Structure 1
Amino acid sequence: MKYIIVGLGSFGSSLGIALTSQGHEVVAIDSSMRKVESYKEVISHTICMDATDEYTVNGLPIIDTDIVIVAIGEDQGANVMATALFKTLKAKRLISRSINPLHEKVLQAIGVDDIFHPEQESAKRWAKRLSLRYFVDSFSLTDSFSIVEISIPDALIGKTVAALQLEDKFNIKLLSTMRYEHYKDSFGRAQSRPSIQGLAEPEQVLQDSDVLVVYGANKHINQFLRSVGVKVQ
């Protein structure tokens, strides 16, 4: 996948390094030449430019980029301007950093696809979330074991939980399924929140709107994903 990361602060640089190490193409931009030079060996491409300048930003490969992440944190105004500019230039998926509750409402009004809070979330966790098409979220119990939320792959729709044989074939356990309820926020924009469906039962038939909550060793979860056609690193 191809990413554009705007801002090479602590979070943006860590995210860029993690995604690059996973084999993705990353274009990281920052107005500081010092930061650009610092990370040019560990991030696919680093460019020194002003992300609020429409002329220069328009020269980026936005149409060919899967996800744009605005990680500017020091300057709230620059964050909003850069986010609005990428939205105007029709980024396929736009994610931006929230600095405070008011700023988050502004980002929602702009129409970003997702918002992150670096003070609460790690760059490694977001790298995992952005790398997998079906990945929703995860909670690492140790370096080797996780609880992972996965949007149901097409190959599993209509099958029962028992038919998957997750414990026998992959040594992982389906704890539950979730579905997302949709609602309007204070700006009238569409939002969603998770609804737990309860403990997974053997006879339960999986639906196209299900999110699978799976527990197991990371390597076993990856084996399961590969078996249903999901590309993982």
Structure 2
Amino acid sequence: MKKQFAVIGLGRFGGSICKSLSDQGMDVLAIDNNEDRVNEYKTIVTHAVVADSTDEKALKSVGIRNFEHVIVAIGDNIQASILTTLILEEMGIKHITVKAQNDYHEKVLSKIGADRIVHPERDMGTRIAHHIVSKNVLDYLELSDEYSIVELIAGYKIHGKTLIDLDIRANYGCNIMAVKRGKEIHVSPKPDKEVRRGDILIIIGADQDIQRLEKGILDVD
């Protein structure tokens, strides 16, 4: 059975989510108060409607209660974002994901019942910064204020060494979740797995430990 999602707000962020979910075969209801934006997504999503998400009657009329997961991707109107989230929470929507504009916005959203709060601009900035600073960082995902998942490209420094040789958990307090080599991916790799230059190591750990790991095992320019 297909999962059903509703996306409120069809700016760049909301529109991108709509396209991605639709590409994955999900049923998507796209909502915006701008008719031009709605028309743009009519051929992409399952349903696209013009509605004011701060109007409870309008949300009920489009059947929002039938959706287990609603993404509030409203752009610069923080008041509309907060009011929409509050209405969805009072309606009993199971999963509510909301785009936050700043830390204050996030605090309010947390208090009124948002299940997940995302900062797309901030998160993307963080990922780009990590990529710029180190040529070995392929991708970076912040899990919390202290923990992250990072994709590191193995270089000459660790080429030919096994995971036992590196002993990353003991030496740096991080865990290797998987090793990618070309199209192959080895999840929970065995200790005798040999690392080759160009392999991608998917590592989870505290930010300070990951930084020590980068300095300890990666090639230096």
- Using structure 2 for the length normalisation, give the TM-score: 0.58
3-state DSSP class of the match of 1:51? Answer: coil
What's the C-alpha RMSD, in Å, of the aligned pairs?
Answer: 3.0
Q: Which residue of 1 aligns with 2:15?
A: 13
Asked if the contact 1:70–1:97 (Cα under 8 Å) also holds between the matched residues in 2, the reply is yes
User: Number of matched residues?
Assistant: 148
Q: Which residue of 2 aligns with 1:118?
A: 120
1:205-220 counterparts in 2 under 5 A? 213-216=177-180, 220=184
Q: Which residue of 2 aligns with 1:106?
A: 108
CA–CA distance in structure 2, aligned partners of residues 215 and 66 of structure 1: 34
Q: Which residue of 1 aligns with 2:134?
A: none
CA deviation profile, 1:180-232 (whole Å, cap 9, x unmatched): xxxxxxxxxxxxxxxx97446xxxxxxxxxxxx334269655x98xxxxxxxx
Residue 44 (structure 2) pairs with residue 80 (structure 1): no
Question: Structure 1 residue aligned with 2:91, among 82, 86, 89?
Answer: 89
CA deviation profile, 1:10-44 (whole Å, cap 9, x unmatched): 00001100110110111010000000011111222
- Structure 1: which 5+ residue stretches go unaligned? 123-136, 143-174, 177-195, 201-212, 225-233
**Cα shift at 1:120:** 3.0
3-state DSSP class of the match of 2:83? Answer: helix
Q: Which has the higher contact order (CA 8 A, sep 6+)?
A: 1
**Cα shift at 1:94:** 0.5
Distance 1:109-1:23 versus aligned 2 partners, 3 A rule: same
**Cα shift at 1:138:** 6.6
Asked if the contact 2:10–2:31 (Cα under 8 Å) also holds between the matched residues in 1, the reply is yes
Equivalent AA in structure 1 for residue 8 of structure 2: V
Max radius of gyration: which structure?
2
Question: Structure 2 residue aligned with 1:31, among 9, 30, 33?
Answer: 33
1:106-185 counterparts in 2 under 5 A? 106-121=108-123
- Using structure 1 for the length normalisation, give the TM-score: 0.55
Sequence identity percentage: 32
Residue 70 (structure 2) pairs with residue 68 (structure 1): yes
CA deviation profile, 1:106-159 (whole Å, cap 9, x unmatched): 00110211101121346xxxxxxxxxxxxxx975679xxxxxxxxxxxxxxxxx
> Which one has the bigger helix percentage?
2
